[in-house]
Amino acid sequence: MLVVILPMLVAPPAACQVVRDLPQQLEGVSVTERAGEWLPLDLEFVDETGRGVRLGQYFAGERPVILVLGYYKCPMLCGLVHSGLVQSLGELSWTVGEQFDVVSVSINPLETPSLAALKKQSYVEEYGRAESAAGWHFLTGREADIRALADAVGFGYRWIEERGEYAHQAVIFVASPRGKLTRYLYGVRFDPSTVKLSLIEAAEGKIGSPLDRVVLFCFHYDAAEGRYTVAVMNLLRAGGGLTVVALGLFLATFWLRERGLRRRPTEGPAR
């Protein structure tokens, strides 16, 4: 990966918009967010065992998926993205393969399943949870399928012939259990709380406790900040709702008390 592109290409979208006059070799190296659109689940790849697979196999409606595009022989940026993701996931109580999956796809059609297997072994060991291996998937494929997937998620990349490297941005994608894109996270370090909230958001109610969903309601994703921030209006709505509930309980208690007093027989003087 070209070191020169790191300062610009690991920033969130708002920061990238101020870039002007990119070098010619970096034209087309950008990310066009397509949140809300569906992944092409009929695309065919090869997994780390050499078995042919369809992308749709990883979107069976059970768990959300973190999707990573890069290449396994990348000299710098892709390794930083994967290591940053592993570090972030290591701070979550959830485990890959249980609450969510991770699918990495090589953008280099010349890379092999054996190389993908080595990368998987390396990152599973770095993650430190052997039981997660079934949830990590490292894929290779043909140029046409790779390009189709990259275009679907808006991931622009270029082969730089004189350097023998690909240029691309540092970004990971979060998708729903059925394959709908829901969130783009940029950089080489990922805030664990942001990753967790992104997975809850993508999960369609399939993971997370009721409290987690309440927390998500109180936050919204700020693209400029690249993280979730407090949603003031949601808090006000929630606060207003709690006020109404509290007032209703007070009035109900008061009404029942008054009704009980009215029904109590009036005591007169003894005869």
pLDDT, the chain, mean? 80
Q: Which comes out higher in pLDDT, residue 76 or 247?
A: 76
Residue 105 confidence (pLDDT): 98
Q: How many domains does the chain have?
A: 1
Residue 204 confidence (pLDDT): 79
pLDDT tens readout for residues 151-184: 999 999 999 998 899 999 999 999 999 999 999 9
Domain of residue 132: give its range. Answer: 3-217
Give percent of the chain above pLDDT 90.
62
Residue 169 confidence (pLDDT): 94
CATH of residue 38: 3.40.30.10
Q: Is residue 145 part of a domain?
A: yes
Whole-structure pTM value: 0.74
Query: Helix/strand/coil (H, E, C) string of the chain?
Result: CCHHHHHHHCCCHHHHCCCCCCCHHHCCCCECCCCCCECCCCCEEECCCCCEEEHHHHCCCCCCEEEEEECCCCCCHHHHHHHHHHHHHHCCCCCECCCEEEEEEECCCCCCHHHHHHHHHHHHHHHCCHHHHHHEEEEECCHHHHHHHHHHHCECEEEECCCCEEEECCEEEEECCCCEEEEEEECCCCCHHHHHHHHHHHCCCCCCCHHHHHHHHCEEEECCCCEEEECHHHHHHHHHHHHHHHHHHHHHHHHHHHHHHHHCCCCCCCC
Residue 24 confidence (pLDDT): 60
Q: Is residue 37 part of a domain?
A: yes
State the average pLDDT over residues 25-33.
82
pLDDT tens readout for residues 86-117: 999 999 999 999 999 999 999 999 999 999 99
Q: Is residue 259 part of a domain?
A: no
Q: Is residue 242 part of a domain?
A: no
Q: Is residue 202 part of a domain?
A: yes
pLDDT tens readout for residues 131-146: 999 999 999 999 999 9
Residue 218 confidence (pLDDT): 55
**Residue 28 pLDDT class (50, 70, 90 cuts):** confident
Q: Is residue 240 part of a domain?
A: no
Residue 258 confidence (pLDDT): 52
Give percent of the chain above pLDDT 70.
65
Q: Is residue 232 part of a domain?
A: no
